[in-house]
Amino acid sequence: MSESAQPTQQIGPEGPEGANATGELDPQCVALVDADAPFNRPHADVILRTSDSVDFRFYKLLLSLASPFFANMFALPQPGPLDEAANQTKYDIPIVPVSEKSAVIRKLLGFCSPVYDTDVPALENLDIVMSVLDAADKYDMKRVGKFVVKMITAPQFLEQEPMRVFAIACRYRAEVETTIAARYMLRFAAWEPAYVAELDFISGSDYQRLIKYHASCGQAVGQLVRLWSTFPLPPLDCKFCRKKGLSRLSLKDYQDSVIDALRIRPCVETLLNPEWIETMIRKAGSCPGCRDRAPRKIQEYAKELAVPLDEIISQIRLEIKSY
Protein backbone atom coordinates (compact mmCIF):
# COMPACT_ATOMS: atom_id res chain seq x y z
CA MET A 1 0.00 0.00 0.00
CA SER A 2 1.12 3.58 -0.43
CA GLU A 3 2.24 5.83 2.39
CA SER A 4 -1.13 7.53 2.39
CA ALA A 5 -2.46 4.36 4.02
CA GLN A 6 -1.47 3.47 7.55
CA PRO A 7 1.74 1.46 8.15
CA THR A 8 1.77 -1.86 9.91
CA GLN A 9 1.65 -1.62 13.69
CA GLN A 10 4.99 -0.65 15.25
CA ILE A 11 5.96 -0.37 18.92
CA GLY A 12 7.94 2.74 19.72
CA PRO A 13 10.32 3.43 22.61
CA GLU A 14 7.96 5.71 24.48
CA GLY A 15 5.61 2.90 25.47
CA PRO A 16 2.39 4.50 26.76
CA GLU A 17 2.19 7.31 24.18
CA GLY A 18 -0.41 6.36 21.59
CA ALA A 19 -1.20 3.11 23.37
CA ASN A 20 -4.63 1.53 23.48
CA ALA A 21 -6.34 -0.15 26.43
CA THR A 22 -4.20 -3.27 26.06
CA GLY A 23 -0.95 -1.28 26.20
CA GLU A 24 -0.28 -1.69 22.46
CA LEU A 25 0.36 1.28 20.20
CA ASP A 26 -2.57 2.38 18.07
CA PRO A 27 -1.40 2.41 14.43
CA GLN A 28 -3.37 5.60 13.93
CA CYS A 29 -1.24 7.40 16.51
CA VAL A 30 2.25 6.38 15.38
CA ALA A 31 4.25 9.42 14.30
CA LEU A 32 6.65 8.43 11.53
CA VAL A 33 9.84 10.41 11.09
CA ASP A 34 12.63 10.28 8.54
CA ALA A 35 16.15 9.55 9.70
CA ASP A 36 18.61 12.37 9.25
CA ALA A 37 21.70 12.36 7.02
CA PRO A 38 23.14 10.29 5.55
CA PHE A 39 20.07 8.04 5.66
CA ASN A 40 17.63 10.43 3.99
CA ARG A 41 18.90 10.51 0.43
CA PRO A 42 16.15 10.88 -2.18
CA HIS A 43 17.84 8.46 -4.58
CA ALA A 44 17.79 5.54 -2.12
CA ASP A 45 15.84 2.50 -3.29
CA VAL A 46 14.71 0.89 0.00
CA ILE A 47 13.45 2.12 3.36
CA LEU A 48 14.02 0.28 6.64
CA ARG A 49 11.30 1.22 9.12
CA THR A 50 12.36 0.64 12.72
CA SER A 51 10.23 -0.40 15.67
CA ASP A 52 10.26 3.18 16.98
CA SER A 53 8.91 4.47 13.63
CA VAL A 54 12.01 5.96 12.08
CA ASP A 55 12.47 5.50 8.33
CA PHE A 56 16.00 4.93 7.06
CA ARG A 57 16.53 5.35 3.31
CA PHE A 58 19.32 3.11 2.07
CA TYR A 59 20.49 1.12 -0.94
CA LYS A 60 19.58 -2.46 -1.83
CA LEU A 61 23.01 -3.03 -3.34
CA LEU A 62 24.86 -2.16 -0.12
CA LEU A 63 22.48 -4.24 1.98
CA SER A 64 22.83 -7.17 -0.42
CA LEU A 65 26.63 -7.01 -0.32
CA ALA A 66 26.64 -6.97 3.48
CA SER A 67 23.80 -9.42 4.09
CA PRO A 68 22.78 -12.64 2.32
CA PHE A 69 19.49 -12.25 4.20
CA PHE A 70 18.66 -9.03 2.37
CA ALA A 71 20.20 -10.28 -0.88
CA ASN A 72 17.76 -13.21 -0.86
CA MET A 73 14.87 -10.94 0.11
CA PHE A 74 15.49 -8.56 -2.78
CA ALA A 75 15.91 -11.48 -5.20
CA LEU A 76 12.36 -12.66 -4.51
CA PRO A 77 9.58 -11.61 -6.92
CA GLN A 78 8.29 -8.24 -5.81
CA PRO A 79 4.55 -7.63 -5.29
CA GLY A 80 2.63 -6.07 -8.12
CA PRO A 81 1.24 -2.53 -7.97
CA LEU A 82 -2.25 -3.85 -7.24
CA ASP A 83 -1.16 -5.84 -4.18
CA GLU A 84 -1.75 -3.07 -1.64
CA ALA A 85 -1.30 -5.40 1.35
CA ALA A 86 2.33 -6.11 0.41
CA ASN A 87 3.24 -3.07 -1.67
CA GLN A 88 4.06 -0.73 1.24
CA THR A 89 5.92 2.31 -0.05
CA LYS A 90 6.93 5.86 0.85
CA TYR A 91 8.18 8.35 -1.74
CA ASP A 92 7.61 5.44 -4.15
CA ILE A 93 10.33 3.52 -2.29
CA PRO A 94 9.50 0.06 -0.85
CA ILE A 95 9.42 -0.18 2.94
CA VAL A 96 10.88 -3.09 4.90
CA PRO A 97 9.74 -3.09 8.56
CA VAL A 98 12.42 -4.26 11.03
CA SER A 99 12.10 -5.04 14.72
CA GLU A 100 15.20 -3.12 15.84
CA LYS A 101 15.12 0.42 17.17
CA SER A 102 16.57 3.34 15.27
CA ALA A 103 19.70 3.64 17.45
CA VAL A 104 20.71 0.10 16.45
CA ILE A 105 19.79 0.37 12.75
CA ARG A 106 21.71 3.64 12.42
CA LYS A 107 24.89 1.95 13.63
CA LEU A 108 24.25 -1.22 11.63
CA LEU A 109 23.78 0.73 8.39
CA GLY A 110 26.83 2.82 9.26
CA PHE A 111 28.92 -0.35 9.23
CA CYS A 112 27.42 -1.26 5.84
CA SER A 113 28.20 2.14 4.30
CA PRO A 114 31.34 2.99 2.30
CA VAL A 115 34.13 4.47 4.40
CA TYR A 116 34.09 7.67 2.37
CA ASP A 117 30.40 8.15 3.09
CA THR A 118 30.14 7.83 6.88
CA ASP A 119 32.45 7.63 9.87
CA VAL A 120 32.84 4.34 11.69
CA PRO A 121 29.90 4.26 14.12
CA ALA A 122 30.78 4.90 17.75
CA LEU A 123 29.86 2.16 20.21
CA GLU A 124 29.14 3.91 23.49
CA ASN A 125 28.78 0.85 25.70
CA LEU A 126 28.59 -2.93 25.62
CA ASP A 127 24.78 -2.90 25.64
CA ILE A 128 24.89 -1.14 22.28
CA VAL A 129 27.58 -3.57 21.13
CA MET A 130 25.35 -6.54 21.95
CA SER A 131 22.35 -4.98 20.21
CA VAL A 132 24.38 -4.38 17.05
CA LEU A 133 25.87 -7.88 17.17
CA ASP A 134 22.42 -9.42 17.63
CA ALA A 135 21.16 -7.51 14.60
CA ALA A 136 24.23 -8.50 12.58
CA ASP A 137 23.58 -12.15 13.48
CA LYS A 138 19.90 -11.85 12.58
CA TYR A 139 20.65 -10.44 9.13
CA ASP A 140 23.70 -12.67 8.56
CA MET A 141 26.14 -9.74 8.38
CA LYS A 142 29.21 -11.76 9.28
CA ARG A 143 31.81 -9.16 8.33
CA VAL A 144 29.99 -6.48 10.30
CA GLY A 145 29.96 -8.80 13.33
CA LYS A 146 33.69 -9.48 13.04
CA PHE A 147 34.45 -5.77 12.75
CA VAL A 148 32.36 -4.91 15.80
CA VAL A 149 34.00 -7.64 17.89
CA LYS A 150 37.43 -6.20 17.07
CA MET A 151 36.32 -2.92 18.69
CA ILE A 152 35.39 -4.36 22.10
CA THR A 153 38.95 -4.52 23.44
CA ALA A 154 39.09 -0.72 23.52
CA PRO A 155 40.08 0.52 27.01
CA GLN A 156 36.64 2.02 27.59
CA PHE A 157 35.18 -1.51 27.55
CA LEU A 158 38.05 -3.66 28.75
CA GLU A 159 38.84 -1.59 31.83
CA GLN A 160 35.21 -1.33 32.91
CA GLU A 161 33.76 -4.76 32.09
CA PRO A 162 36.51 -7.26 31.20
CA MET A 163 34.37 -10.33 31.88
CA ARG A 164 31.70 -9.12 29.46
CA VAL A 165 34.39 -8.45 26.85
CA PHE A 166 35.78 -11.95 27.34
CA ALA A 167 32.36 -13.59 27.05
CA ILE A 168 31.42 -11.63 23.92
CA ALA A 169 34.74 -12.31 22.21
CA CYS A 170 34.58 -15.98 23.19
CA ARG A 171 31.02 -16.29 21.90
CA TYR A 172 32.14 -15.07 18.48
CA ARG A 173 35.34 -17.16 18.53
CA ALA A 174 37.52 -14.07 18.12
CA GLU A 175 40.84 -15.55 19.22
CA VAL A 176 42.86 -12.33 19.48
CA GLU A 177 40.17 -10.43 21.38
CA THR A 178 39.40 -13.38 23.67
CA THR A 179 43.08 -13.68 24.58
CA ILE A 180 43.40 -9.94 25.24
CA ALA A 181 40.40 -10.06 27.57
CA ALA A 182 41.67 -13.19 29.34
CA ARG A 183 45.04 -11.52 29.83
CA TYR A 184 43.35 -8.48 31.35
CA MET A 185 41.39 -10.76 33.69
CA LEU A 186 44.70 -11.73 35.33
CA ARG A 187 44.37 -8.51 37.30
CA PHE A 188 41.69 -10.22 39.34
CA ALA A 189 41.71 -13.33 41.48
CA ALA A 190 39.90 -16.18 39.75
CA TRP A 191 36.94 -15.92 42.14
CA GLU A 192 36.50 -12.12 42.00
CA PRO A 193 34.67 -11.37 38.72
CA ALA A 194 30.89 -11.34 39.12
CA TYR A 195 28.38 -13.06 36.88
CA VAL A 196 27.45 -11.26 33.65
CA ALA A 197 24.60 -12.20 31.34
CA GLU A 198 26.92 -12.76 28.38
CA LEU A 199 28.32 -15.85 30.13
CA ASP A 200 25.04 -17.57 29.26
CA PHE A 201 26.11 -17.53 25.60
CA ILE A 202 29.34 -19.47 26.09
CA SER A 203 29.80 -23.02 27.32
CA GLY A 204 30.96 -24.21 30.69
CA SER A 205 34.03 -25.55 28.90
CA ASP A 206 34.86 -22.06 27.63
CA TYR A 207 34.72 -20.67 31.16
CA GLN A 208 36.72 -23.61 32.50
CA ARG A 209 39.45 -22.85 29.96
CA LEU A 210 39.60 -19.27 31.26
CA ILE A 211 40.04 -20.56 34.82
CA LYS A 212 42.69 -23.02 33.63
CA TYR A 213 44.54 -20.22 31.83
CA HIS A 214 44.46 -18.08 34.97
CA ALA A 215 45.79 -20.96 37.10
CA SER A 216 48.53 -21.79 34.57
CA CYS A 217 49.71 -18.17 34.55
CA GLY A 218 49.73 -18.17 38.35
CA GLN A 219 51.87 -21.30 38.43
CA ALA A 220 54.24 -19.92 35.80
CA VAL A 221 55.20 -16.86 37.86
CA GLY A 222 57.12 -19.23 40.10
CA GLN A 223 59.85 -18.94 37.46
CA LEU A 224 60.67 -15.53 38.89
CA VAL A 225 62.66 -17.17 41.67
CA ARG A 226 65.45 -17.68 39.14
CA LEU A 227 65.56 -13.96 38.46
CA TRP A 228 66.02 -12.56 41.96
CA SER A 229 69.73 -12.04 41.33
CA THR A 230 68.99 -10.09 38.13
CA PHE A 231 65.94 -8.30 39.51
CA PRO A 232 66.54 -7.99 43.26
CA LEU A 233 63.57 -6.78 45.25
CA PRO A 234 63.75 -3.18 46.50
CA PRO A 235 64.48 -2.95 50.24
CA LEU A 236 61.61 -2.13 52.55
CA ASP A 237 63.96 -1.19 55.38
CA CYS A 238 67.22 0.68 55.89
CA LYS A 239 70.38 0.35 58.03
CA PHE A 240 68.67 2.24 60.82
CA CYS A 241 65.73 -0.23 60.80
CA ARG A 242 68.07 -3.22 60.93
CA LYS A 243 70.34 -1.66 63.54
CA LYS A 244 67.43 -0.84 65.81
CA GLY A 245 65.87 -4.24 65.23
CA LEU A 246 62.78 -2.76 63.59
CA SER A 247 62.97 -4.93 60.48
CA ARG A 248 60.90 -8.10 60.86
CA LEU A 249 60.66 -9.36 57.25
CA SER A 250 63.40 -11.69 56.02
CA LEU A 251 64.43 -11.64 52.36
CA LYS A 252 63.01 -15.15 51.89
CA ASP A 253 59.63 -14.14 53.32
CA TYR A 254 59.68 -11.02 51.19
CA GLN A 255 60.31 -13.05 48.03
CA ASP A 256 57.68 -15.62 48.96
CA SER A 257 55.12 -12.87 49.57
CA VAL A 258 55.73 -11.44 46.10
CA ILE A 259 55.34 -14.86 44.45
CA ASP A 260 52.21 -15.65 46.48
CA ALA A 261 50.59 -12.36 45.46
CA LEU A 262 51.45 -12.92 41.80
CA ARG A 263 50.10 -16.48 41.88
CA ILE A 264 46.68 -15.10 42.82
CA ARG A 265 46.78 -12.16 40.38
CA PRO A 266 49.56 -12.91 37.88
CA CYS A 267 50.24 -9.45 36.51
CA VAL A 268 52.57 -6.59 37.35
CA GLU A 269 49.61 -4.43 38.46
CA THR A 270 49.45 -6.64 41.56
CA LEU A 271 52.68 -5.10 42.82
CA LEU A 272 51.29 -1.61 42.24
CA ASN A 273 48.26 -2.18 44.43
CA PRO A 274 48.49 0.32 47.32
CA GLU A 275 46.87 -2.14 49.71
CA TRP A 276 49.46 -4.82 48.94
CA ILE A 277 52.30 -2.32 49.28
CA GLU A 278 50.95 -1.16 52.64
CA THR A 279 50.66 -4.76 53.83
CA MET A 280 54.28 -5.46 52.95
CA ILE A 281 55.47 -2.28 54.68
CA ARG A 282 53.62 -3.26 57.85
CA LYS A 283 55.13 -6.75 57.72
CA ALA A 284 58.57 -5.24 57.39
CA GLY A 285 58.06 -2.98 60.42
CA SER A 286 59.86 -0.20 58.56
CA CYS A 287 60.72 3.16 60.03
CA PRO A 288 58.76 6.27 58.95
CA GLY A 289 61.41 7.19 56.37
CA CYS A 290 61.25 3.73 54.77
CA ARG A 291 57.47 3.80 54.76
CA ASP A 292 57.59 7.03 52.77
CA ARG A 293 60.16 5.72 50.28
CA ALA A 294 58.92 2.14 49.81
CA PRO A 295 55.90 2.81 47.53
CA ARG A 296 58.01 4.73 45.03
CA LYS A 297 60.73 2.06 45.06
CA ILE A 298 58.21 -0.74 44.51
CA GLN A 299 56.58 1.17 41.64
CA GLU A 300 59.96 1.61 39.96
CA TYR A 301 60.76 -2.05 40.54
CA ALA A 302 57.41 -3.17 39.08
CA LYS A 303 58.20 -1.36 35.83
CA GLU A 304 61.46 -3.28 35.56
CA LEU A 305 59.85 -6.60 36.46
CA ALA A 306 57.10 -6.10 33.88
CA VAL A 307 59.36 -7.24 31.03
CA PRO A 308 60.36 -10.69 32.36
CA LEU A 309 56.89 -11.23 33.84
CA ASP A 310 55.31 -10.44 30.48
CA GLU A 311 57.65 -12.94 28.81
CA ILE A 312 56.64 -15.64 31.28
CA ILE A 313 52.90 -15.01 30.89
CA SER A 314 53.18 -14.82 27.10
CA GLN A 315 54.33 -18.43 27.05
CA ILE A 316 50.96 -19.55 28.40
CA ARG A 317 48.35 -20.15 25.71
CA LEU A 318 44.62 -19.76 26.18
CA GLU A 319 42.87 -22.68 24.54
CA ILE A 320 40.04 -21.50 22.30
CA LYS A 321 37.76 -24.01 20.63
CA SER A 322 36.42 -23.10 17.19
CA TYR A 323 33.04 -24.45 16.17
Q: Are residues 157 and 145 in the same domain?
A: no
Q: Are residues 140 and 186 in the same domain?
A: no
Number of domains in the chain: 3
Q: Are residues 196 and 239 in the same domain?
A: no
Is 10 part of a structural domain of the chain? no
Q: Are residues 41 and 129 in the same domain?
A: yes
Task: Name the pTM for this structure.
Answer: 0.81
Q: Are residues 43 and 71 in the same domain?
A: yes
Q: Are residues 308 and 278 in the same domain?
A: yes
Range of the domain at 188: 153-202
CA quadruple 138, 141, 144, 145: dihedral sign: positive
Is 73 part of a structural domain of the chain? yes
Q: What is the pLDDT of residue 242?
A: 67
Is 25 part of a structural domain of the chain? no
Encode pLDDT of 261-313 as tens digits.
Answer: 999 999 999 988 888 888 888 877 767 777 788 888 888 988 899 999 999 99
Q: Are residues 136 and 234 in the same domain?
A: no
Q: Are residues 74 and 90 in the same domain?
A: yes
Is 59 part of a structural domain of the chain? yes
Q: What is the pLDDT of residue 237?
A: 74
Q: Are residues 51 and 118 in the same domain?
A: yes
Is 292 part of a structural domain of the chain? yes
Q: What three-state secondary structure class fits 82?
A: coil
Q: What is the pLDDT of residue 294?
A: 82
Q: What is the pLDDT of residue 81?
A: 58
Domain boundary among 139, 168, 202: 202
Q: Are residues 227 and 133 in the same domain?
A: no
Is 323 part of a structural domain of the chain? no
* Long-range CB contacts (within 8 A, 24+) of 59-67: 62/112, 62/113, 62/114, 63/112, 65/112, 66/111, 66/112, 66/141, 66/143, 66/144, 67/112, 67/139, 67/140, 67/141
Q: What is the pLDDT of residue 212?
A: 96
- Region of residue 160 (left: phi > 0; alpha: psi -120 to 50; beta: else): alpha
Q: Are residues 188 and 276 in the same domain?
A: no
Is 216 part of a structural domain of the chain? no
Q: How far is CA 32 from the centre of its chain?
A: 33
Residues of the chain below pLDDT 50: 1-25, 27-28, 85
Is 302 part of a structural domain of the chain? yes
Q: What is the pLDDT of residue 185?
A: 96
Q: Are residues 94 and 138 in the same domain?
A: yes
